[in-house]
Amino acid sequence: GILQHPDGTVLKQLQPPPRGPREQEFYNKVYDSDCCDSILLELREYLPKYFGVWSPPTAPNDTYLKLEDVTRKFNKPCIMDVKIGQKSYDPYASAEKIQQQVSKYPLMEEIGFLVLGMRVYHVSSDSYETQNQHYGRSLTKETVKDGISKFFHSGYCLRKDVVAASIQKVEKILEWFEGQTQLNFYASSLLFVYEGSCQATTVRLSDVTLAEKRRVPKGLLSGGDVLEYNNNIHVINSTENGKIETSVGKGLSKFYALHKKACSKRHHSQLSLKVENSEQDNVWKTSTCITQEHLNGNVLPQLEKVFYHMPAETKESANVEVRMIDFAHVFPSNTKDEGYIYGLKNLITVLQNILDN
């Protein structure tokens, strides 16, 4: 398994030859200080940072890869490991190995990916739900969308912001694969990580982007799209005038400043950010309102004015990491990695379906 080093990195024990040395060689090649290959230099963006190898003083013959802990910056990290590609065996695999791998998940060639496991933090119960590889292998072409959507559910709601940000990250990796013909990857995975707790640091307007993608007319912006995302704000206390004070981070402060600036230009200087607690489902929801008496009125026109005229720089995406991991079966090539590309495209399609539905 993966071990934690006291300095905050993680240690992955080198596998027996030829897999372990092959993975080490891959990292050494990509992270060579003299590397000037633009393809490999860009690839670094999609991998955990590599800090060489490490051996414990008590067992100098045991070798570990020293890697960035992608989950370290998260308070309640939600993690999913998805194996990518139509084949989970490499070109040099024996007939027995091929049969073994195919029998584990016969749908790999058709679906192009396999969920190896996930751990999801549920805000509602303050606990994690864990699924192993047996869960992933139970998913069919018909159930894979619902199976993956579990990873993006907080226990209260579907984290559409995380789905949207994940799609963007995977699309960047797909672009890299479309542009390179020197490496082919087998039995390699994507590691998805996002913050599961309520202690987010910024207000994000990703739902507005979703609404625009769906071509929702400006005047008909649905309450679900704008008001659905919640988990970013902690209520401190209600003040005498009925407004609610909130604990905000730098991102929210920046948003609020831009928000006020944008509104004042349109003679809506009274607009303020407010948090409503829905007693029916106990879900935090964000909304905008002019003053307290407008709470019982139609808030959507005000939302429309603010959200559709916000500066582009405020449309921040959720804090999500998507990194490529597991490189024991990476081989030189002179062609595109069509199997991996197929898997990425199918995964993007599934994520997009989760978002749209």
Mean pLDDT of 10-35: 98
Render pLDDT for 137-196 as a digit per residue (tens, 0 to 9): 999 999 999 999 999 999 999 999 999 999 999 999 999 999 999 999 999 999 999 999
* Average pLDDT score, the chain: 78
Mean pLDDT of 28-55: 98
Which helix (DSSP H) or strand (DSSP E) does residue 7 occupy? none
- The residues near 90 (Cβ < 8 Å, ≥ 6 apart) are 186, 187, 329, 331
What is the predicted pLDDT for the residue at 317? Answer: 56
Domain ranges of the chain: 1-69, 70-199+318-356
Mean pLDDT of 104-125: 97
Query: For the chain, percent helix, then strand, then coil, each to nearest 5?
Result: 40, 25, 40
Render pLDDT for 252-306 as a digit per residue (tens, 0 to 9): 344 334 444 444 444 433 333 333 333 334 333 333 333 333 434 454 444 443 3
pLDDT band at 251 (very low <50, low <70, confident <90, very high): very low
The DSSP call for residue 18 is T
DSSP characters over 194-216: EE-SS--SS---HHHHHHHHTT-
Mean pLDDT of 220-239: 36
CATH 3.90.1150.10 given to domain 70-199+318-356: no
What is the predicted pLDDT for the residue at 318? Answer: 81
What is the predicted pLDDT for the residue at 198? Answer: 78
What is the predicted pLDDT for the residue at 340? Answer: 98
Within a 10 A sphere around the Cβ of 232, how many other Cβ atoms?
23
In terms of Cα–Cα distance, which of 7, 43, 9 is closest to 27?
Answer: 43
Render pLDDT for 334-351 as a digit per residue (tens, 0 to 9): 999 999 999 999 999 999
- pLDDT above 70 covers a percentage of the chain that reads 67
**Residue with token string 């006020």:** 260
**Its pTM surpasses 0.85:** no
Mean pLDDT of 297-321: 49
What is the predicted pLDDT for the residue at 339? Answer: 98
In terms of Cα–Cα distance, which of 354, 339, 328, 338 is closest to 114?
Answer: 339
Lowest mean pLDDT among 16-25, 189-198, 205-214, 312-321: 205-214
The Cα–Cα gap between 62 and 305 comes to 61
